Structure 1
Amino acid sequence: MGSGPTLRVRSSASWRRIPAMTSDNEGTVLDWVETTPDELLARLCETRQMNTNRPIVIGIDGRSGSGKSTVAARLAAATGDSVIVHTDDIAWHHSFFGWHHLLADGILCPLRQCGAPVSFRPPGWVARGRPGSIDIPDTANVVFVEGVGATHRDLAGWFDATIWVSTDPVVAYRRCVERGIDPPGFIEEWMTRENPFLAEDRPWDRATAIVSGERAPAGT
């Protein structure tokens, strides 16, 4: 399994403990070091609670456009069998940020109690006739859950490790605009909810590791 380009992570003697910031924003990280996806994944897996009957569950949080999906894909490529769960699928036609109970009940709790396989159809899918389901096969050894709010404090006990993808908010916003996916006005409406939501939840304070998303291409 090739690692590809390195990832930039926050350097700290006690890298699992991220000191609290004093402002509403996550602050500026200056002490970055380079590491490979394999090395980062190995360090994250050190935190796993001993249970051979379920996959390791890693949450990946960050602002819209921060590079979360890119980091998730890089780490998934460094594993043998892994699955990426996108919180956008959980939240689909349900709520901007009021979907944490769905993720817990439909994905995280079953994984914790019984392990894979898991198959879940969020209520928005059922109500609107969206086909398929969110599936985690019994071959999965790592499950990545990525999205804005993926590591919300209400879900903290379900993860073996979490990542905050740190990207300048201006850069992240520009990426969202440049994607050209969302209709006019939606990005502004989203940001009016995302910014206070993250400022109140402060997922970077709980993160097992902070990864820079500055070099990631436009994405989520």
Structure 2
Amino acid sequence: MSAPAPVLLIDGRSGTGKTTLASSVAASLTASTVVHMDDLYPGWDGLDDGSRLLVEWILTPFADRRPGEWWRWDWERSERAERHTVVADRPLIVEGCGSSSSASRVLADTVLWLDAPVDQRTDRLVGRDDGVDWLAAWTLQEDTFIERECPDRDADLVVEATGSAAAVGARVLSVLERDDRWRPWLRA
């Protein structure tokens, strides 16, 4: 039996560049699936629920080499929408706050904490289409999750998201290139 496809969790606070980094890593792999925690949270008060659903719907089946199934959260309608399948035969990248919990870390191969200065994160968030009306309540959820789950302290790799997105991606890829679990999946 061949080795299972690896799992990368990219956690960090809002505005650190997790989505951009996940896209960069995915583009460097021969095949992969990217799951965004934003699609799992059941609304602005759903960080903990999204973290739990990641383990239940996706990571546990993936660890058993079975397809995972999840239902995207429709932010405009405030309800679950279409179903998605995560196949277990290609690398999985999950990005978003709450992706690295004590329950999810044991099901992952590589856990990354992405950090950035608060002013840089705020500048990025202010530029988003959805505004920042949600930011204060969301930050409280992030604080509670980080204090309880320690994703920053228990990560395999902590990366400062300073400099260009390309430079951050290159730093992460240089680590993955030295890892036997990831090397077969990286583009030459």
Aligned equivalents of 1:154, 1:119: Cα separation in 2: 18
**Higher deviation after alignment, 66-75 or 172-181:** 172-181
Structure 1 partner of 2:51: 100
Give the corresponding residue for 1:47.
none
Equivalent residue number for residue 77 of structure 1:
27
Cα deviations by residue, 1:176-199 (Å, 9 ceiling, x for unpaired)? 1122323x5311221233234323
SS for the counterpart of 2:48 is: coil
Q: Partners of 2:105 and 2:136 in 1: how far apart?
A: 28
Unaligned runs of 5+ in 2: 166-188
Tell me, yes or no, if structure 1 residue 206 matches structure 2 residue 154: yes
Q: Once the 2 structures are TM-superposed, how far is the Cα of residue 201 of structure 1 from its aligned partner?
A: 2.7
2:104 aligns to what? 155
Distance in 1 (alpha carbons) for counterparts of 2:99 and 2:7: 12
Counterpart-to-counterpart distance in 1, 2:151 and 2:164:
20
Contact 1:166 1:211 in 2 (8 A): yes
Based on CA coordinates, which of the two structures has the bigger radius of gyration? Answer: 1
The answer to whether the aligner puts 1:175 opposite 2:124 as a matched pair is: yes
SS at match of 1:76: helix
| Distance across 1 between alignment mates of 2:80 and 2:138 | 25
Give the RMSD, CA atoms, in angstroms: 2.4
Q: TM-score, normalised by structure 1?
A: 0.64
Matched AA of 1:78: S
Identity of aligned residues (%): 24
Indicate yes or no: 2:65 matched with 1:121: no
SS in 1 for 2:49: coil
- 1:119 deviates by 2.7
Deviation at 1:63, TM superposition (A): 0.7
Contiguous gaps of at least 5 residues in structure 1: 1-50
Aligned length: 161
Listed as ranges, the matches of 1:1-220 within 5 Å are 52=2, 54-93=4-43, 95-115=46-66, 117-121=67-71, 128=79, 130=81, 132-137=82-87, 140-182=89-131, 185-216=133-164
Structure 1 outlier segments of 4+, above 3 Å: none
TM-score by length of 2: 0.74
Structure 1 position 142, deviation (Å)? 0.8
Maintained 8 Å contact 1:66/1:214? no
Query: Could you tell me how far apart the structure 1 residues matched to 2:115 and 2:123 are?
Result: 15
Q: Residue deviations 1:25-56, cap 9 Å, x none?
A: xxxxxxxxxxxxxxxxxxxxxxxxxx736321
Provide the C-alpha distance between the structure 2 equivalents of 1:106 and 1:200, rounded to a whole number of angstroms.
22
CA offset digits 1:83-129 (Å, max 9, x no partner):
111111111337132333211110001000124x333226x66x835
